[in-house]
Amino acid sequence: MMFDDRISFFDDIKKDKFILSNIIWDIEPKQLMEPRIIKTDKGIEYKKPISGYFFYVDIIDKKPALFLMRHTSSDYAETVARINEIPVELLVEAVDENKDKKFFGMYPINKKVENWLKKALCIED
């Protein structure tokens, strides 16, 4: 499996203060893929760099799965973990809720998934 050698959800992510303090909760996959420099009628517009970690849902073998991606300010991104501990029903609901926000096969998480993650990771609002 592709993620066998990656960090595991509860063993490493929960203990990693850097990851926990750099999770971006309010971002969608499309925002990561948008150009950072745009030519407009007013000139060149530079978008703010995105740096941190974010969760997304993907469909693997016809079932939704939750992943954690790292994105750097130089626009390098890599998926660093697959989270198997979350109930699949929550992911199905997130996919259904965000069907129109699918981008390159990736779906944003919804509030229920976010709340589950925050509780599992002991993150307070």
DSSP for the chain reads: -TTTTSPPIIIIITT-HHHHHTB--S--HHHHHS-SEEEETTEEEEPPP--EEEEEEEEETTEEEEEEEEE-TTS-EEEEEEE-SS-HHHHHHHHHHTGGG-BTTEEE--HHHHHHHHHHTT---
Mean pLDDT computed over 12-16: 87
pTM of the model: 0.84
> In the prediction, which pLDDT does 114 show?
97
What is the tens place of the pLDDT at every residue in 71-100? 987 778 898 889 999 999 999 999 999 999
> In the prediction, which pLDDT does 110 show?
97
